[in-house]
Structure 1
Amino acid sequence: MKSEESLNHESLLRNFYEAFARGDADAMAASYHDQASFSDPVFPGLDAPQVRAMWKMLTSQATDLKLEFSQITADEQGGSAHWDAYYTFSVSGNMVHNSIDATFEFRDGLIYRHVDTFGFWRWSKQALGVPGLLMGWSPMLRGVVRKQAAKSLAKWQAKEAAAQ
């Protein structure tokens, strides 16, 4: 039988992905601890303000996002989930189906560490087309994509700060 804390963590993750599917970045942000971190192949090493801004940026720019999630499990310390995102990549206009596995650590009933893993080459072939097909395996292309993503996030955060 699962502990109450395990059930609460499973509920936290389910609510997080339900909010994501609705495009509710504020509800997603509320799921994170103030010292949270996030990492994936495109956005590595984000701190809590950056991860909250990233989700807000991504959900606000998504015009046709379809999200499916499954395999949510959690215990007192950590959890995992699988999710699939279907969307048009704004830079290229290409349709993408990204299949992601997520792992979590919890602190104080919130997400403390969140790591998403997915095949960068598989993603880049879909998102970037021929350049992704030819170069998606290379650290160079990954670096270019990460640099552009970091620049977009910093620009988004500056715009949000100026609006307040």
Structure 2
Amino acid sequence: MNNNEQTLIRFYSAFAALDADTMAKCYADDATFEDPAFSLKGRREVGGMWHMLCDATKSKGRDDWRLEFRDIHADDTTGHAHWEAHYRFRVAKRVVHNIIEAEFTFTPEGLIATHKDTFDFWRWSRQAMGLGGLILGWIPFFRSQMRKQTRVALTKYLAKKT
């Protein structure tokens, strides 16, 4: 197992344990993160997002939380992982099973430089928001609004932490 695969295993093992500090340490200072809900730059934002999400999950109790990962592959510069999260979406209190494919690039030191998660947003929105997600989840405007809301939530969270 190479250094970059070890970084991914450390990252997802920490995520399963809701250990955002260890997750954040897996990223380079100038790392970027992208998924349907977030577009982030720098360890402060990326690590802040993981802290926010882990804190929210811990605050509701871990009863509904479970993370599974597999298919960890990495070479000297790129990597891939498959992961699945089971949790209760805090807004609608609905149970979600999200299936994600992750792509990475790494620094020479074995830290995550770029991280891009892809998942079926419409599937996620149907689970997380019910009928509203079913009707609106496929519309680009809905996704855009969600990104704005997650940006506001992260900005408020980071302001409280500094």
Equivalent residue, structure 1, for 2:28: 33
Amino acid at match of 1:33: A
* Structure 2 residue identity aligned to 1:100: I
1:130 corresponds to which residue? 131
Q: Does the 8 Å CA contact 2:79/2:103 hold for their aligned counterparts?
A: yes
Q: Does 1:23 align with 2:24?
A: no
AA of the residue aligned to 1:58: L
Equivalences for residues 9-158 of structure 1 within 5 A: 9-62=4-57, 63=61, 64-107=64-107, 108-158=109-159
Distance in 2 (alpha carbons) for counterparts of 1:113 and 1:55:
15
Q: Give 1:46 deviation, angstroms.
A: 3.5
- Assess if the C-alpha contact under 8 Å between 2:81 and 2:101 holds in 1: yes
CA deviations over 1:87-114 (Å, ceiling 9, x no partner) = 0000000000000000000002100000
% identity of equivalent residues: 48
TM-score calculated relative to the size of structure 2: 0.93
Aligned to 1:3: none
The one-letter code of the counterpart of 1:29 is A
Q: Which amino acid aligns with 1:156?
A: Y
Name segments (4+ residues, structure 1) moved above 6 Å.
Answer: none
TM-score, length of structure 1 as denominator length:
0.92
Shift in Å, 1:145: 1.0
1:128 Cα deviation (Å)?
A: 1.0
**Equivalent pairs, count:** 156
Deviates most, 148-157 or 62-71: 62-71
Deviations along 1:37-83, one digit per CA (max 9) or x if unpaired, are: 00000002433211000000000111332100000000001100000
Gaps of 5+ in 1: 1-5
CA contact (8 A) 1:37 1:45 kept: yes
